[in-house]
């Protein structure tokens, strides 16, 4: 079945002149030909559907074809051209080769409106502004702003990341595509839920569920240190979500308090911000150093390759932070932090650890082992007695391991620092 067909004008890429073409819309494919007759069979009739009643592509080979799924169309206003009888609309498409906008013109306002309605049905997408009202700002990044949005029909509230695509480098655009692909793939109670994605030539709107508690970092700054039980309450959902991601071949690569969102209860945590995440094969080794320095694993900084175990180190650093009140390697000297992480001599000599159970200390030491092959995997971490509640004799710390937990002690703090910990990119 042909949804719509007729003449439209396109601007020539070489000459800049408006060229008349016959356009043929079928399902979510838009074909075009130099003349109307080119789109017809030898008898002048459009190609019929098949035996199953499904419409087939036009009879003759088109000059071009555009796949409209997940594209969107907008009307444009150009008074100068409209006085000459050209009424425009833009068709915005995205592909692995990048984003593109094609401008087409109809010979009348009525024809333009008919094409606009037909193309919108084929695209199955509507502009963001027609669905949501933007509200207050929730956060801000280098190229994006996170704002509250309210659905116009349901009045439900969401968080929307508004991204200025014009400021993104090609590599950053690729990371953005990966983030969206991951969010579309995952479905877990402790991972932020993607609602929808809208896009224009210059802007992308990523609509996600709204969590009232904000960033986990905001929950921990300025409060007393976490007890062992509170740390366990935080650890379980984080490990569960990491185990789920790893089962799908996804490595987050930037787990930190700022990328964890909170509900009303402490255990209502959700991992967010998959901008540096990567889909990997089971034994794939990554080499590009990325993440936030304070939470990056030793193997990432040593430039010898790393895998999914880097995420477990990051979780271990977060747990250490909420209990100890400071990062395991905390200094104003960037090189000193790097050296400390690579050596991975994590100290558990502070008095805050004195009340911890043997299983709890064993769990922490197993997460913060320097050698990723000896570090707990997410699956094994979920089976650890500290999380399951089962009893077992604590593992004896191996003094030959640089991450045995033996190291110089630091003066005890009684509360959280009032400023963010080091967040330099590795």
Q: How far is the C-alpha of 143 from the C-alpha of 164, rounded, in Å?
A: 6
**Average pLDDT of 394-414?**
35
Query: In b/e form, how buried is each residue of 389-404, taking b as 16+ CB within 10 angstroms?
Result: eeeeeeeebeeebbbb
pLDDT in tens, 356-401: 999 999 999 999 999 999 999 999 999 999 999 866 544 444 333 3
Q: How far is the C-alpha of 198 from the C-alpha of 206, rounded, in Å?
A: 7
What is the structure's pLDDT at 405?
A: 33
Is pLDDT at 411 greater than 80 in this prediction? no
Rounded to the nearest 10°, the torsion over CA 231, 237, 238, 244 is: 160
Query: Are 348 and 364 contacting, i.e. CB atoms less than 8 angstroms apart?
Result: yes
- Overall size of the chain counted in residues: 426
Distance of CA 8 to the CA centre of its chain: 38
Query: Are 163 and 144 contacting, i.e. CB atoms less than 8 angstroms apart?
Result: yes
pLDDT band at 420 (very low <50, low <70, confident <90, very high): very low
CB neighbourhood size of 212 (10 A):
10
Q: What are phi and psi of 231, to 5 degrees?
A: -65, -40
pLDDT band at 39 (very low <50, low <70, confident <90, very high): low
- Which tops the pLDDT comparison, 42 or 186? 186
Q: Count the helices and strands in the chain (H runs, E runs).
A: 11, 17
Structure tokens at 317: 């650093």
Give me the residue spans of the domains in the chain.
4-124, 130-209, 214-388
Query: Are 294 and 327 contacting, i.e. CB atoms less than 8 angstroms apart?
Result: yes
CATH code linked to domain 130-209: 3.30.200.20
Q: Is 2.30.29.30 the CATH classification of the domain at 4-124? A: yes
Query: Are 329 and 294 contacting, i.e. CB atoms less than 8 angstroms apart?
Result: yes
Residue 304 C-beta-side C-alpha neighbours within 13 Å: 7
* Residue in 321, 314, 426, 294 with CA at minimum distance from that of residue 376: 314
Rounded (5°) CA angle 16-20-24? 125
Residue 148 C-beta-side C-alpha neighbours within 13 Å: 12
Indicate whether this model's pTM tops 0.75.
Answer: no
Is pLDDT at 214 greater than 50 in this prediction? yes
What is the structure's pLDDT at 408?
A: 30
What is the set of active-site residues? 254
Q: Is 2.40.50.140 the CATH classification of the domain at 214-388? A: no
Q: What are phi and psi of 138, to 5 degrees?
A: -110, -25
pLDDT in tens, 251-274: 999 999 999 999 988 889 999 999
Query: Are 306 and 372 contacting, i.e. CB atoms less than 8 angstroms apart?
Result: yes
Is pLDDT at 237 greater than 70 in this prediction? yes
Q: How far is the C-alpha of 346 from the C-alpha of 405, rounded, in Å?
A: 5
pLDDT band at 326 (very low <50, low <70, confident <90, very high): very high
pLDDT in tens, 53-102: 344 445 567 888 888 877 888 888 889 999 999 999 999 887 656 678 88
- What integer best gives the mean pLDDT of the chain? 84
Longest Cα–Cα distance in the chain: 91
Terminal alpha carbon distance of the chain: 55
What is the structure's pLDDT at 34?
A: 84
What is the structure's pLDDT at 52?
A: 41
What is the structure's pLDDT at 45?
A: 45
**Average pLDDT of 106-115?**
95
What is the structure's pLDDT at 2?
A: 61
**Average pLDDT of 304-328?**
96
Q: Tell me what percent of the residues of the chain surpass a pLDDT of 90.
A: 57
What is the structure's pLDDT at 297?
A: 97
* Residue in 391, 243, 383 with CA at minimum distance from that of residue 308: 243
pLDDT band at 16 (very low <50, low <70, confident <90, very high): confident
Is pLDDT at 149 greater than 70 in this prediction? yes
Task: Tell me: is residue 161 an annotated ligand-binding position.
Answer: yes
**Average pLDDT of 272-286?**
90
Question: What Rg do the C-alpha atoms of the chain give, in angstroms?
Answer: 28
76 in the Ramachandran plot: left (φ > 0), alpha (ψ -120 to 50) or beta? beta
């Amino acid at each position: 079945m042909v949804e719509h067909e007729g003449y439209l004008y396109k601007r020539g890429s070489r000459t800049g002149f408006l060229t008349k073409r016959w356009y043929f819309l079928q399902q979510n494919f838009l074909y075009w030909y130099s003349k109307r007759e080119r789109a017809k069979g030898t008898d002048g009739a459009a190609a019929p559907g098949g035996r199953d009643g499904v419409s087939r592509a036009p009879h003759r080979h088109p000059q071009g074809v555009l796949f409209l799924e997940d594209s969107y169309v907008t009307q444009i206003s150009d008074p100068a051209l409209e006085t000459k009888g050209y009424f425009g609309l833009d068709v915005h498409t995205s592909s692995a080769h990048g984003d593109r906008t094609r401008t087409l013109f109809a010979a009348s306002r009525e024809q333009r409106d008919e094409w606009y309605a037909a193309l919108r049905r084929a695209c199955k997408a509507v502009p963001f502004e027609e669905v949501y009202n933007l509200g207050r700002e929730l956060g801000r990044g280098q190229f994006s702003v996170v704002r509250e949005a309210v659905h116009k029909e349901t009045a439900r509230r969401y968080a929307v990341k508004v991204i200025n695509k014009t400021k993104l480098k090609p590599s950053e655009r690729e990371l953005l595509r990966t983030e969206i692909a991951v969010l579309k793939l995952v479905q877990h109670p402790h991972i932020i839920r993607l609602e929808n994605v809208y896009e224009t030539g210059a802007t992308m709107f990523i609509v996600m569920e709204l969590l009232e508690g904000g960033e986990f970092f905001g929950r921990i700054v300025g409060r007393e240190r976490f007890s062992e039980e509170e740390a366990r309450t935080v650890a379980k959902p984080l490990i569960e979500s990491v185990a789920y991601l790893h089962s799908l071949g996804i490595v987050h690569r930037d787990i930190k308090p700022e990328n964890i969102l909170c509900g009303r209860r402490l255990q209502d945590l959700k991992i967010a911000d998959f901008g540096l995440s990567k889909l990997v094969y089971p034994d794939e080794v990554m080499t590009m150093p990325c993440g936030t320095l304070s939470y990056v694993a030793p193997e990432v900084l040593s430039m010898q390759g790393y895998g999914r175990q880097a995420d477990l180190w990051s979780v271990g650093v977060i747990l250490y932070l909420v209990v100890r009140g400071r990062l395991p390697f905390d200094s104003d000297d960037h090189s000193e932090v790097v050296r400390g992480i690579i050596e991975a001599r994590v100290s558990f000599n502070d008095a805050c650890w004195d009340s911890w159970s043997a299983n709890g200390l064993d769990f922490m030491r197993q997460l913060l082992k320097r050698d990723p092959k000896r570090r707990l995997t997410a699956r094994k971490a979920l089976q650890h007695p500290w999380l399951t509640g089962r009893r077992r004799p604590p593992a004896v710390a191996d003094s030959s391991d640089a991450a045995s937990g033996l190291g110089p002690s630091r003066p005890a703090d009684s509360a959280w620092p009032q400023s963010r910990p080091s967040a330099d990119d590795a």
